Amino acid sequence: MAIRERPVVIAHRGASGYLPEHSFAAKAMAYAMGADFLEQDLHMTRDGEIVVIHDTWLDELTDVRTRFPGRAREDGRFLVLDFTLAELRSLRMTERFEMRDGRPVQVYPGRFPTGTADFRIQTFAEELELVAGLNHATGGRTGIYPEIKVPWLHRREGLDLATAMLTVLRDHGYRRREDPVYVQCFDPMEVIRVRTELMPALGIDLRVVQLIGEPEWEETWVETPDGGWHPYDDGWLQEPGALARVAEVADGIGPQVPMVIRTDPVTGRPTPTHLVAEAHALGMEVHPYTLRADALPAGFTSLDALHAALFRVADVDGVFSDFPDRTIAWLRAEGRRPG
């Protein structure tokens, strides 16, 4: 049975409620707010470097459309892994937007204004140096929470993100289960590979979290014998009893908030699903995503109501929060964190 520590606060893509996600500024702000872990979403570049960016595409986070207009794929989108690191570094990264009627519209209007200031994409190694530097300068021990994004897509392009990521982690001193790091991935086959093949081969043993998404997101695809690719149905992860298989390779799960707690349509009360109890019975931690004050799940009218439901009712072990300061403040007021 894993030791239940205080609930951990994971800064989701940094303090992304206040600064563009995955910018160094957003990471430094989350660090200063006292987050326990800073999250990194990872993709590889065409020349085999690892960069920190959430989307598989560049077009809703950067100015790639105007900088490299001829480099879109057939669907009109710009894949991270079609660009070299030098090209990616030349882009301006910005607050998330969507194109509507040919114009960029900010997804979260109350956040940092899209298209202003100057933010850049950085490598995974540079981000580890940022965290190590801050830990050195402050005497802190803030952790990291890197995600292997779309391993199947990287494999299709001849790239092995998981091996590259684990090698960088090892070379930066992340080697043992006690080290402040969780490795996360949606792809259950990749989680098995990380645990049973890659980490033993590299001589490291880190905590691993199986993310759980909705099947219609089509997070994971598999190759058929004829060389075609089709979506893998990961809906079994949400079935009662499924976590026994996950617990063989993972230390925790990362489900979406509505997978762990729902508002009962009759009583109006937040009601836990089977997931947390089942995970705890197997000795696994539960870190749901994502807490957003400006995009609350159905049935919740405030971020603190969501905090109360997740920490008091569902009894989760940590959360991914876009507003780590507000999650920390709630836990302090609740006496679940030192002041």
Chain residues binding Ca ion by CB under 5 A are 41, 147
Q: Which residue is nearest to Ca ion (CB)?
A: 147
Q: Is 62 exposed, middle or buried (0-12, 13-18, 19+ CB in 10 A)?
A: buried
Q: In this structure, are residues 288 and 300 in contact, taking their beta carbons and an 8 Å threshold? A: no
In angstroms, what is the minimal distance from the CB of 224 to Ca ion? 28
Quick check: bond before 290 cis, omega within 30? yes
334: Cβ–Cβ under 8 A, 6 or more apart, which residues?
A: 311, 312
Tokens of 193: 């590979």
Question: Smaller CB distance to Ca ion: residue 146 or 270?
Answer: 146
What are the φ and ψ backbone dihedral angles of 256, each rounded to 5 degrees? -75, 150
Helix (H) or strand (E) holding 209: strand 207-212
In angstroms, what is the minimal distance from the CB of 322 to Ca ion? 12
Question: Smaller CB distance to Ca ion: residue 41 or 60?
Answer: 41
Parallel, antiparallel, or unpaired: how do β-strands 207-212 and 221-223 relate?
unpaired
The whole-angstrom separation of Cα 190 and Cα 198 is 10
Query: Which position among 22, 43, 54, 280 bears the catalytic label?
Result: 54
Query: Given CA atoms 326, 295, 26, 252 in this order, what sign does their dihedral have?
Result: positive
Biggest alpha carbon distance in the chain? 59
Tokens of 116: 């202003």
- In 3D, which of 3, 295, 287 has the Cα closest to residue 145? 287
Question: Smaller CB distance to Ca ion: residue 146 or 299?
Answer: 146
The whole-angstrom separation of Cα 146 and Cα 127 is 11
Q: How big is the chain, counted in residues?
A: 339
Question: Smaller CB distance to Ca ion: residue 290 or 337?
Answer: 290
Please indicate whether residue 12 is annotated as part of the active site: yes
In angstroms, what is the minimal distance from the CB of 320 to Ca ion? 7
The whole-angstrom separation of Cα 103 and Cα 244 is 47
Please indicate whether residue 22 is annotated as part of the active site: no
The whole-angstrom separation of Cα 6 and Cα 338 is 10
User: What torsion do the CA atoms of 212, 217, 219, 224 make, to the nearest 10 degrees?
Assistant: 120
In angstroms, what is the minimal distance from the CB of 284 to Ca ion? 18
The whole-angstrom separation of Cα 72 and Cα 79 is 7
- Would you please indicate which residues are annotated as catalytic (active-site) residues? 12, 54
